[in-house]
Amino acid sequence: MKPVNQKAWFLVLPVLVLVAISAVIPLMMVVNFSVQEKASNGQFFWMGTKWYETVLHDEKFWGALFRSLSFSAIILAIQIPLGIFIALNMPRKGWGVPASLILMSLPLLIPWYVVGMIWQMFGRVDIGLLGVMLKDFGYNYVGDPVDAWGTLILMDVWHWTSLVALLSYAGLVSIPDAYYQAARIDGASKWAVFRYIQLPKLGRVLTIAVLLRFMDSLMIFAEPFRVTGGDPAFLSIELEQKSEELGWASAMSIIFFLIILAISWVFYAVMTREDADVAKPESAS
């Protein structure tokens, strides 16, 4: 059991200071701006919740939020099963292991701006491989919003599926052989093996993956801005474009942040509750 030692706070102090400065102060600043308005003489004065009300009543805000959530839902629906499927089929032994791990990690290591740029070039109907191939089908992400969405989704899948696959792979390789052997002895079908042995082990890993991907997909700023130059209006882009109106932007930031905080709390609660289950073993009477 871990001993209690309040002096451990000294060890944690550097982290606390660093993160607090990076997080708390800016956050307070944003909250500050969100309840003030700049008058023409440069002075700030108290506005109360006016900005929040404005944002929450703004149709465009809800539209952008809805679009962001739909985008998240779509890519999660693609990336999670796809990532798991790839992980299930990745080699476990031999040279294929480091080769596939390295190659699959590549998209994750490219600066986000460059990812957007790659896909912008890739999808252009004049100079891009994808664009040229699909040109005859009427594909053009510049003018057509459906094509734009499709390209963004494809880009995100290309960029991030590897994260899900690698996390799932880590979960899968930690399953000892004995489980598979016992399943053979029990006469279990491949589906039963997946459902009762692999999926439960993946559960914890997937929660992390879903959380990370959900957060990131709500706030991808660089990539869609690059690919389509600001269209369709995603939530993050609204923020950028309205930054002159500090109060409005700040209120929206806070609302945005609270949504994310609420969702992470839910995920975290689910994750730690599962851990608590395992930590307290009971013996049979």
Smaller CB separation from another protein, 69 or 88: 88
**Whole-number minimum distance, CB 34 to another protein, in Å?**
11
Are residues 242 and 55 in contact, defined by beta-carbon separation less than 8 angstroms? no
Are residues 22 and 31 in contact, defined by beta-carbon separation less than 8 angstroms? no
What are the angstrom distances between the C-alpha of 162 and each of 74, 92, 115? 17, 16, 14
Smaller CB separation from another protein, 88 or 142: 88
First-to-last CA distance in the chain? 25
**Whole-number minimum distance, CB 44 to another protein, in Å?**
13
Smaller CB separation from another protein, 119 or 149: 119
Are residues 267 and 211 in contact, defined by beta-carbon separation less than 8 angstroms? yes
Are residues 197 and 180 in contact, defined by beta-carbon separation less than 8 angstroms? yes
**Whole-number minimum distance, CB 261 to another protein, in Å?**
6
- Residue holding tokens 């779509």? 74
SS3 44: strand
Q: What are phi and psi of 147, to 5 degrees?
A: -65, -35
| Rounded Cα–Cα distance for residues 198 and 113 (Å) | 36
**Whole-number minimum distance, CB 190 to another protein, in Å?**
7
**Whole-number minimum distance, CB 45 to another protein, in Å?**
19
Smaller CB separation from another protein, 54 or 100: 100
Smaller CB separation from another protein, 66 or 242: 242
**Whole-number minimum distance, CB 25 to another protein, in Å?**
6
**Whole-number minimum distance, CB 207 to another protein, in Å?**
11
Q: Is 93 exposed, middle or buried (0-12, 13-18, 19+ CB in 10 A)?
A: exposed
| Rounded Cα–Cα distance for residues 105 and 219 (Å) | 21
**Whole-number minimum distance, CB 120 to another protein, in Å?**
9
Smaller CB separation from another protein, 47 or 193: 193
Q: Is 51 exposed, middle or buried (0-12, 13-18, 19+ CB in 10 A)?
A: buried
Smaller CB separation from another protein, 149 or 205: 205
Phi-psi region of 138 (alpha: psi -120 to 50; beta: other; left: phi over 0): left
Smaller CB separation from another protein, 47 or 117: 117
